[in-house]
């Protein structure tokens, strides 16, 4: 991976960051972007948490790909999360590779951490985010918003720092990783670690990076983000640039070349070791386990308002996972809304055009 | 009933007028949230809703209400005992799989319950069945038998019996015909809709 262009501001956490593993992260850095203006009383801050392979470029162009921010349709002046009213923050999670401390960062000995980087959890990511909020002088968020892994961070913040957010919006997410979720992640990790260029994670000074393994990991994961109906609608069994089957192993079907394109594009902007660390963090995620085995205990006494949104074609974090959260919030007496939205595109629906989602987000965050 | 509630359906207006200000309320089958919005803005209530139809839930959330998409037949079980001052079931009892069990759940999660329903013993319904010989399609029950969500038609007297059987006390009752409130005498004939306030 190339060094990240120094585009985002970086917050250096002034104290050692304690981690769930018992280790401590010294000199932790968090890269972030902000949009809008913080009110004098800091009451209008909205923290948006990114998904597994996302980053802080929420509503501004990505410095490597040049593509628009990943939720540019949702965040901006007059948009559902309105930057004319709210001060929106999006930070690169620790363990990632867009400027925040992660395996590609330099350890105190001047060499990249690589696999010496401590294993982190979702709660550790949120520890980093809370440290950033402290640094920005934000006591209490107007709202914390997240989809997928971002939703896990939002839930973790609500469960562990309940006084830090007045509203919690969780989209297409879960309170724990299921065996199936872990299984898919393990396929991705094994693909990376099976790549000879991975070299036990010490590839930062090498000519070759484990791009093949990382691309395969991305391809496998990408399938879980889509729905069968969406794939069929988009590609069916159509062939790519040819009239007849070639009886070989080139990317003959359109869906194959699409996945290869997704995989190779991903290696240009993401670090393979970060993929290992972040998927691990997600696999460890289980809020109930952190709170004596009962999810409702995680939210007992919360003052925050919650909104949980699922998509009917999401089989990665299906509606049942969202209902599980809603039931726990009800049992805890929390103010909660829940809606299952209809969309053809599976888990990825939260990133795509969806008027109903826009209205729900706007109505809840306003 | 005061003028500010005139935009509400009459049964909802009767309920809104009799919920104590500042109460915790669960509105089951809350639709687009009209009653909840009224209770929150006019009475300072902490209102929560439950609604099966995702589009109606989306409209509720978009207007800033706390509404959970769910099936009252199944999901009421997830609420703790006496979590609410009032549990409200408006025009939904007749769609319940087991209205008797739903009444139990209402009186479990709420200290009091409001129940409103179309009265199947209204003279118009009786006339339609008696003279037409077909399942009535009336102003209060406007959908044909094969596509109606109403699977357990109920009358004012049936409901009184059910409440008695369940050990529920009828605190108050209101009856409506032609969008107007009418008196209790002969309500089983005359009322198109009934609203009951129950406690246990």
**Residue A228 Cα distances to A341, B29, B62, B79, angstroms:** 17, 33, 30, 35
Chain A contact present for B70, CB below 8 A: yes
Contacts of B52 in chain A (CB under 8 A): none
Q: Is the pLDDT of residue A259 over 70?
A: yes
| DSSP SS3 for B103 | helix
Beta pairing class for A87-91 and A45-49: parallel
Give the closest-approach CA distance of B104 to chain A in angstroms.
18
pLDDT at position B104 is 96
Q: Alpha-carbon distance B123 to A109, whole Å?
A: 89
Q: What percent of chain A has pLDDT over 70?
A: 98
Q: Alpha-carbon distance A354 to B19, whole Å?
A: 37
Whole-number mean pLDDT of chain A? 96
Beta pairing class for B24-28 and A335-341: unpaired
For the segment A268-284, the average pLDDT, to the nearest whole number, is 97
pLDDT at position B101 is 96
Contacts of A359 in chain B (CB under 8 A): 58, 61-62
- Contact assessment for residue A223 and residue A234, using Cβ atoms and an 8 Å cutoff: no
pLDDT at position B6 is 56
Chain A contact present for B74, CB below 8 A: no
User: Catalytic one among A82, A347, A348, A354?
Assistant: A347
Beta pairing class for A24-25 and A17-18: antiparallel
For B7-40, how does the pLDDT look when each residue is reduced to its tens digit (9 = 90+)? 899 999 999 999 999 999 999 999 999 999 999 9
Instruction: Output B2 or B54, whichever has higher pLDDT.
Output: B54
Closest Cβ opposite residue B54 in set A327, A336, A339: A339
Surface of A (303-322) touching B: CB under 8 A? 305, 307
User: Catalytic one among A101, A148, A227, A274?
Assistant: A148
- Contact assessment for residue B58 and residue A339, using Cβ atoms and an 8 Å cutoff: yes
For A18-58, how does the pLDDT look when each residue is reduced to its tens digit (9 = 90+)? 999 999 999 999 999 999 999 999 999 999 999 999 999 99
The pLDDT confidence band at residue B179, using thresholds 50, 70 and 90, is: confident
For the segment A244-268, the average pLDDT, to the nearest whole number, is 92
| DSSP SS3 for B179 | coil
Chain B contact present for A335, CB below 8 A: yes
Tokens of A217: 């990991």
The pLDDT confidence band at residue A331, using thresholds 50, 70 and 90, is: very high
A274 in catalytic set: no
The pLDDT confidence band at residue B1, using thresholds 50, 70 and 90, is: very low
pLDDT at position A4 is 52
SS3 readout for chain A: CCCCCCCCCEEECCCCEECCCCCEECCCEEEEEEECCCCCCCCCEEEEECCCCCCCCCCCCCCCCCCCCCCCCCEECCCCEECCCCEEEEECCCCCCCCCCCCCCECCCCCECHHHCCCCCHHHHHHHHHHHHHHHCCCCECEEEEECHHHHHHHHHHHHCHHHECEEEEECCCCECCHHHHHHHHHHHHHHHCCHHHHHHCCCCCCCCCHHHHHHHHHHHHHHHCCHHHHHHHCCCCECCCCCCCCCCCCCEHHHHHHHHHHHHHHHHCCHHHHHHHHHHHHHCEHHHHCCCCHHHHCCCCCCEEEEEEECCCCCCCHHHHHHHHHHHHHCCCEEEEEEECCCCHHHHHHCCCHHHHHHHHHHHC
| DSSP SS3 for B86 | strand
pLDDT at position B2 is 45
Q: Which of B130, B121, B125, B127 is CA-nearest to residue B188?
A: B121
For B95-137, how does the pLDDT look when each residue is reduced to its tens digit (9 = 90+)? 999 999 999 999 999 999 999 999 999 999 999 999 999 998 9
pLDDT at position A6 is 57
ipTM of the shown complex: 0.87
Q: Is the pLDDT of residue A219 over 90?
A: yes
Stated pTM of the model: 0.93
Mark A306-315 as b/e (b = at least 16 C-beta within 10 Å): bbbbbbebbe
| DSSP SS3 for B40 | helix
pLDDT at position A155 is 98
> Which stretch, A140-149, A230-239, A255-264, B91-100, has highest mean pLDDT?
A140-149
Q: Which of A223, A251, A253 is CA-nearest to residue A236?
A: A253
């Amino acid at each position: 991976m190339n060094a990240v262009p120094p585009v985002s501001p970086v917050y250096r956490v002034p104290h050692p960051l304690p981690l769930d593993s018992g280790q401590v992260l010294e000199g932790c850095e968090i890269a972030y972007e902000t949009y809008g203006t913080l009110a004098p009383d800091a009451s209008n801050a909205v923290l948006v948490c990114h998904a597994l392979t996302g980053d802080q470029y929420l509503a501004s162009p990505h410095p490597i790909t040049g593509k628009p921010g990943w939720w540019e349709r949702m965040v901006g002046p007059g948009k559902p999360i309105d930057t004319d009213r709210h001060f929106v923050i999006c930070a690169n999670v620790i363990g990632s590779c867009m400027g925040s401390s992660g395996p590609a960062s330099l350890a105190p000995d001047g060499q990249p951490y690589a696999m010496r980087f401590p294993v982190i959890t979702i709660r550790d990511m949120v520890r980093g985010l809370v440290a950033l909020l402290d640094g920005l002088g934000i006591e209490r968020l107007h709202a914390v918003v997240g989809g997928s892994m971002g939703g896990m961070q939002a839930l973790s913040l609500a469960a562990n720092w309940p006084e830090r957010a007045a509203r919690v919006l969780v989209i297409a997410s879960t309170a724990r990783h299921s065996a199936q979720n872990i299984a898919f992640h393990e396929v991705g990790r094994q693909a990376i670690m099976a790549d000879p260029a991975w070299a036990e994670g010490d590839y930062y000074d090498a000519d070759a990076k484990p791009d093949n393994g990382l691309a395969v990991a991305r391809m496998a994961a990408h399938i879980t983000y889509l729905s069968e109906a969406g794939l069929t609608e988009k590609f069916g069994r159509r062939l790519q640039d040819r009239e007849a089957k070639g009886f070989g192993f080139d990317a003959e079907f359109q869906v194959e070349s699409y996945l290869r394109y997704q995989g190779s594009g991903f290696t240009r902007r993401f670090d393979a070791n970060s993929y290992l660390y972040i998927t691990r963090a997600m696999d460890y995620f289980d809020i109930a386990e952190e709170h004596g085995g009962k999810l409702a205990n995680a939210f007992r006494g919360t003052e925050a308002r919650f909104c949980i949104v699922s998509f009917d074609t999401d089989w990665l974090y299906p509606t049942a996972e969202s209902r599980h959260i809603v039931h726990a919030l009800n049992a805890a007496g929390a103010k909660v809304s829940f809606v299952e939205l209809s969309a053809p595109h599976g888990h990825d629906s939260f990133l795509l055009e969806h008027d109903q989602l826009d209205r729900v987000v706007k109505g809840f965050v306003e | 009933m005061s003028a500010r509630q005139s935009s509400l359906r009459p049964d909802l207006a009767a309920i809104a007028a009799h919920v104590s200000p500042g109460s915790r309320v669960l509105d089951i089958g809350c639709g687009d949230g009209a009653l909840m919005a009224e209770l929150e803005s006019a009475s300072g209530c902490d209102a929560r809703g439950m609604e099966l139809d995702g589009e109606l839930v989306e409209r509720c959330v978009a207007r800033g209400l706390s509404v959970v998409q769910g099936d009252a037949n199944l999901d009421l079980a997830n609420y703790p005992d006496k979590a609410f001052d009032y549990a409200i079931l408006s025009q939904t009892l007749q769609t319940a799989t087991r209205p008797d069990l739903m009444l139990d759940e209402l009186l479990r999660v709420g200290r009091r319950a409001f129940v409103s329903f179309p009265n199947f013993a209204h003279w118009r319904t009786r006339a339609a069945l008696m003279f037409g010989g077909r399942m009535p399609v009336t102003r209060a029950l406007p959908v044909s038998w094969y596509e109606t969500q109403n699977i357990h038609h109920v009358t004012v007297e049936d409901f009184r019996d059910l409440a008695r059987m369940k050990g529920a006390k009828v605190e108050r009752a209101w009856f409506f015909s032609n969008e107007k409130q009418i008196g209790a005498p002969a309500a089983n004939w005359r009322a198109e809709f009934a609203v009951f306030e129950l406690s246990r």
